[in-house]
Amino acid sequence: MTTASFDPFEFELFRNSLLSVADEMALTVHRTTYSTVLRDNLDYSTAFFDGRGRMIAQGFSLPAHLGSMPTALAAVLARFEGAIRPGDVYALNDPFHGGMHLPDIFIFKPIFVDGELVAFAGTISHHTDVGGRVAGSNAPDSIEIYQEGVRIPPMRIYDAGHRNETFFELLLTNVRVPDMVAGDIRAQLAACHVAEVAFTDLCRSYGIAKVQRLTDAMLDHSERMARAEIAKLPDGTFTFEDFLDDDGIDVGKPIRLKVAVHKTGDRILFDWTGSSPQVRGALNATLSFTKSASYCGVLSVMEDRIPNNEGAFRAIEVVAPAGTIVNCVHPASVAARGLTGFRMVDTVFGALAQMVPGKVTAAGDGGNTNISIGGYDAERKPYIFCDFTCCAWGGRAFADGLDGNSHMFANMAGQSSEVIEAEQPLFVECYELLGDRGGAGQFRGGAPYRRAYRFLGEEAVISIRSDRRDIRPYGLYGGYPGGASMNVLTRAGGAPEVYPAKFYGQLRRGDLFVHETAAGGGWGDPLEREPARVLKDVWNDFVSAASARELYGVVLTADGRSVDLPATEALRGRIRTARGWQETPYALRETPKQAVEWPERQA
């Protein structure tokens, strides 16, 4: 650590102050926000930049937003550098000008001290609606960016303190829930204001020149931390590929995601070459999003918490060819690219599980399902129910996958069924975990959930983005894949019908929509699972007695209270022989066929 102009403790105290500013920004958004997406799902991030636009501290953030902030501010600077004045505020959401997808509106406020541009405060929030053809602006089946809503190129929305009324009027006229969008933008502005006040205080007490030296040191410090952690990982090249079922337009055509992780010394490179060309449906990711997924993977296997800033990212390189699903170009549709992000993380984990098997999971449910239901009430006022949700973790080298826990990439909260019913024309028939779905393994994949919504209004549109119907979450090192996701729609008075993983349609009074998430893949050979754990799963309805026999080779006694150990040994032997593995398969996407008969099936 440099001791040229400040001592290491002074540095640590400054860093502490700045992190607390970024955190205070995040709390401000949380407290003042209106929409459920922000308040419960925390689909927003805050960050702090130096005067040159380098990100020096990220407050609480969604991992999915890790790579996005520097890219967005760079787009603002490319357009406005040299013309930035005190009192200005900038915004953007266009994926082809620094954004990710249209609901994510970035807001940046330059901070001036004594006439000098010293910093930028930045926030990104997912807005409930930004217009376009489908309520919620999340439709997976748009085929060009123009269908997805209002595009905001980098714009000055406050000009030297004066609100740009033209911008606000144009934006709010084009969104379905203008009060909510306006309220959530206010929350973003409030967070920037908090940062401005606090950072100005810091500059006054340390002096601008010293603050600049300290922020440089923060970037260097994070870089050293990151490199030290990367150096601990084994060198080598680790490749893996995984798939999205399809884009909802070219139904049944799988989309390939491929990564090669090259690790040498204190550097790591994620090369996404070999991934599918960009698709017609709205699953296309910007490079900034692919960076987020790559960063998220590597941060997950580090032992120390690395402060998130551009210094840490200097040690991590990401390559993604333009025109592919991992680095799309205009006029690609992008609204539902969140799904692609989860799959990228699955792909990265599949590669990292070869590098550091003890540290990552088999595939989880493949998250996150988006359910949007929107319409107009009796007074023709629009409402939108929007939920992003996931549930099951893949098994791990040392423990079962979690049942009912969000995917870390977007650590979102579940919504209360009672609140949904109090606020929306919906009746929740069930919200429960499902047994016999988690991928069998020495460590079982997590259980998925089922949630059923009965529509009580007159008419609404429903838009569903889900996946892992055809290509199930992989199991690792002999673990079986998790169960597939499912959508069932029962029209009022009709019979249940299976719907595609991604669809858009109409709801009428009394219709019942049921979604089941996919389940986590297992880790390790299920025949190695401790019989006592299988027994406990049977008691708790996570595994049926039949699956205990067929998948785990565990036979219970007639009363179901204990394990019949000799019969279990014998059955496991028969399954091993029938399965005929020469070596344990690394990744399984299909359940191995069971050739074993079990004649003494109990009732």
Partner 1 sequence: MSTQKTKVRIGVDIGGTFTDISIMDARGGIITKKVASTVDNYARAIGEGLAAAFGENALGGADVAELLHGTTVASNAILELKGARTGLITTKGFRDVLELRLLRMPRLYDLLWEKPPALVERSLRLEVDERVDAKGKIVRPLDPAEVEAALDRLLAEKVEAISVCLLHAYVNDAHERMIRDIIRRRAPEMVLSISSEVLPEIKEYERTSTTVINSYVKPVVGRYLKSLTADLKGVGITAPLLLMQSNGGLTPAEVAAEMPVHIIESGPAAGVIGARALARRAGFDKVISFDMGGTTAKAALVENGEVTRAEEYSVGGGIMIGSRLMSGAGYVLKVPAIDLAEVGAGGGSIIAIDAGGAPQVGPLSAGAFPGPVCYDLGGTEPTVTDANVVLGYINPTELAGGAVKLHAEKSRAVLAEKIAAPLGLPVERAAHGAHLVAAANMIRAIKAVSSERGRDPREFALVAFGGNGPLFAAGMARALGIRRVIVPPSAGVFSAVGLLYSDVEYHLSRTYRQRTTALDLPGLVAAWQALEDQAREKLAADGFRPDQIHLRRFAKLHYKGQAYELSVPMPEGPVTEATSARLDQAFGDEHERTYGHRAGPGEPVELVSLNLAATGELDTLRDTGGGMAAATAAPGERQAYFGPEHGWLPTPILGRGHLVGRDRQGPVVIEEYDCTCVVPPGMTARLDPHGNITIDTGIAA
Question: Within 341-360, which residues bind partner 1 (CB under 8 A)?
Answer: 359-360
432 forms beta bridges with 450
Contact in structure between 215 and 230 (CB atoms under 8 Å): no
b (16+ CB within 10 A) / e for 7-32: eeeebeebbebbbebbebbbebbbeb
Closest to partner 1 by CB, 312 vs 527, is 312
Q: x/- string (CB under 8 A) for partner 1, residues 260-299? A: ------------------------------------x--x
* Residues whose CB is less than 8 angstroms from the CB of residue 63 and which lie 6 or more positions away in sequence, other chains included: 292, 295, 296, 299, 408, 409, 410, 411
For residues 181 and 185, what is the distance between their CA atoms, to the nearest angstrom? 6
For residues 569 and 527, what is the distance between their CA atoms, to the nearest angstrom? 9
Helices and strands, counts by H and E, the chain: 13, 22
Contact in structure between 347 and 150 (CB atoms under 8 Å): no
Binding to partner 1, residues 203-222 (CB under 8 A): 220-222
Binding to partner 1, residues 516-535 (CB under 8 A): none
For residues 162 and 39, what is the distance between their CA atoms, to the nearest angstrom? 29
Q: x/- string (CB under 8 A) for partner 1, residues 369-408? A: --------------------xxx----x--x--xxxxx-x
Closest to partner 1 by CB, 17 vs 237, is 17
- Examine residue 416 and tell whether it contacts partner 1 (CB under 8 A): yes
Q: DSSP character for 528?
A: G
Binding to partner 1, residues 225-244 (CB under 8 A): 225, 228-229
Q: Supply the minimum distance, in Å, between the C-beta of residue 82 and partner 1.
A: 31
Which of 216, 421, 470, 564 contacts partner 1 by CB under 8 A? 421
For residues 466 and 235, what is the distance between their CA atoms, to the nearest angstrom? 36
Q: Supply the minimum distance, in Å, between the C-beta of residue 113 and partner 1.
A: 20
Which of 378, 422, 498, 603 contacts partner 1 by CB under 8 A? 422
Closest to partner 1 by CB, 93 vs 128, is 128
b (16+ CB within 10 A) / e for 322-342: eebbbbbeeebbbbbbbbbbb
For residues 182 and 186, what is the distance between their CA atoms, to the nearest angstrom? 6
Closest to partner 1 by CB, 44 vs 480, is 44
Closest among 103, 29, 43, 100 to 70, alpha carbons compared: 100
- Examine residue 417 and tell whether it contacts partner 1 (CB under 8 A): yes
Q: x/- string (CB under 8 A) for partner 1, residues 153-182? A: --------------------------xx--
Binding to partner 1, residues 49-68 (CB under 8 A): 59-60, 63
Closest to partner 1 by CB, 290 vs 327, is 290
- Examine residue 73 and tell whether it contacts partner 1 (CB under 8 A): no
Binding to partner 1, residues 539-598 (CB under 8 A): 539-542
Binding to partner 1, residues 15-34 (CB under 8 A): 15-17, 20, 23-24, 26-28, 30-34
Closest to partner 1 by CB, 137 vs 361, is 361
For residues 363 and 401, what is the distance between their CA atoms, to the nearest angstrom? 9
